[in-house]
Amino acid sequence: MASYQDWSVGISAAESTYGAGTTVARHFEFTDPKPFETDMGIKQGDGIRVGSRVALSARRVTTTRQASGDIAMQLFSKGLGLLYKACMGAGTSTLVSTGLYQQVFTLADDLPSHNIQFGIPQAGGTIDATTYKGCVMSSFEIGGAVGEIATLKTSWDAQTWDTSTSYVAPSYPTGGSLLTISDATIYS
């Protein structure tokens, strides 16, 4: 039975076509369980009609269907390559030795789009999925004070969302550790 602590968030590999549905490939341990805010751009027409005292519901239209929001997490030494690539736009992964990869990420002119799925626990013990499609990172921030755990906050803009996509049960990398800030120098 699901409990309130069973929130999950996952991301797909880069979409081959913007806004296309792709399956969630990686889940993250995030610190702020809150789905993105949605905007349906509902507009009410202003036409006046004889005998009408209120605005007609037939004159209400949806002009857009988009969403945006943040995902915050503590940085972990494994399983974040897909997210770093979404932040920077391009990346390569090279096998150095068994189970050890070197990943190098570079800024790209065009950022990839992804699907992001939130697993939302319900009072009845089930988990509902909300999937945001065409998600492009609008900004990211790596932070943390000296002697603290490093954090990553990503901000996303989504083209659309649905609740009909099947929930993908989370799986997480094994091993690894939290990254801490002991001393930092950033080069760009």
152, 11 in Cβ contact below 8 A?
A: no
pTM for the structure as a whole = 0.78
- Tokens 């341990």 identify what position? 29
Closest-CA residue to 76 (of 186, 188, 180): 180
CA 80 to chain centre: 13
* Residue listed under structure tokens 């857009």: 64
Over residues 42-86, the pLDDT tens digits come to: 777 776 677 777 776 677 776 666 788 999 999 888 888 888 899
Radius of gyration of the chain (CA): 20
- pLDDT beyond 80 at 5: no
What is the average pLDDT across 142-160?
Answer: 89
DSSP code at position 4: G
Q: H or E stretch including 61?
A: strand 60-62
